[in-house]
Structures are given as C-alpha cells and as structure tokens.
Amino acid sequence: MKISGNTILVTGATSGIGRALAEALHGKGNKVIIAGRRQALLDEVTGRNPGMTGIAVDLSDTAAIAKFAESVKAQFPQLNVLINNAGIAGHEDYTADAVDLERAYSTIQTNITGVVQLSAALLPVLRAQPHSTLMVTTSGLAFVPYPPGPVYSATKAFMHNWLDALRVQLQKTSVEVLELAPPYVQTELGGPQQASDPRAMPLEAYTSEVMQILEQNTLEKGEILVERVKPLRTAEKDGKYQEFLDMFAAMHV
C-alpha cells in the first residue's frame, strides 16, 4: 500500500484504532473519508482534521450499507483504499440458562456480514484503480480466542480465513488484501476501562508502529503485525496456544 496520494474510506473511525489510523493517514496527504454511526462524533473528528469527510452509516443495517456504498461510489469514484475497521465486542456466558444471543447476533452482523457486504459492494471501484487496497481489522484473538468473548473472537478468526481466501482470488487484480491484526490496545472497544488498562498497548504507540510498517512495506504475507501481537500469531506453532488460552480465560476486561 502506498502511504500517500490515496482516497481512503475508514469505517468505525470516530474512536480508537479507526480514528487514529484515519488521522495518521490524513496527515500523510491522503483524501480520507470516515464512517461511523453518530454524526456528532463524525463532525468532531472532521472538525479537527480539515479536508476529511464524514458519512454516517449503521453497519449493522444491510439496507443502510447498500445505500452508503452507492453514495460512496457516486461521490468518490477514485476510491482506492477501503479499511474495514468497524467492529463491536462483548461477552457471552454459555453457562447461564439464558444466553444473550442478541449481543452475539449483533456482533456477527457488524464484524462479519457488514464487512463482507461493504467489501463486495466497493470491490468493483477498487478493481478499477491501478493500485488499490482492501484492509480489514481483525485481532490477535483470531489466533487464540478470549473465552469470555467467544463470538467476538470467532468473528475475527472468520475474517482472517476470509482474507486469506480473498487474497488468492484477487491476486491477479490491482487489489492488495491486507489484514490488520492488533494486540490488546488501549481503546474503549471492550469498555471504558480498556482505554487505561496498563496491560494494553498504548494507542499512540500502536498507530506509530503500524504506520512504520506501512511506510517501510515490512508486511508479513499481507498481515500487518506489530511486535506485541506476533506471539499470538505463532502461538500454535510455538506450542504456546494453551498457555495463552489459559491466560485469557483468567483475564477480565
């Protein structure tokens, strides 16, 4: 992925990793469009970043995604980078008599169905560009799950597998397929306490390392992996899968 001169759409960009990446890429001379559910937050981010465009969309709503994709294609026919970052996380307790399946369904809709639908809708635009990128934010939990959040972990494992297959399908096109797999980062994805959890990687440090990887083009087979997440990526190969699984089982976010 070239680091400047792009037209980039970033979903889930009003906070956390999405916002940090959108602002970092905006600062590199790209035209950045951000998407999120709340217009007030979009306005706050674009107000701090002149030239950035914000569009409200609920990525849990298939009809809204279709309408949003048509609007993006009409307004930004030069779009050449799609960063699917929007996602939600939550816990489910399968030892309970009544499991909160609404949370599970919502997580699957946003983290899987919404990503697949938006990517499918915008891939024709990406393929029409000489050089383009489709990126999806997954997680280190794609490689070792977090037992209190089984559906969230599974959605990220799904995305990892989907991206591997998509990379093969698109290898003869202009579209580069990238997976951004963060470790545990100081954002509010898992709740307000995560943003200040000392066990998590500071967001600024994470963003800086990701940008360095992109600028220096030191990706690993289409995967953007900061040093802190690499032990999870290789946990099974290194014989440390159970060790990490046990650690995550004892962890509460």
Active-site positions read 152
The type of residue at 228 is: R
H or E, element range at 82:
strand 81-84
Which residues neighbour 150 within 8 Å (Cβ) at sequence distance 6 or greater? 92, 94
Judged on CB neighbours under 10 Å (0-12, 13-18, 19+), 117 is middle
CA distance 19 to 252: 25
Do 43 and 54 touch, CB atoms closer than 8 A?
yes
Distance CA 206, CA 196 (A): 14
Cα-to-chain-centroid distance, residue 86: 6
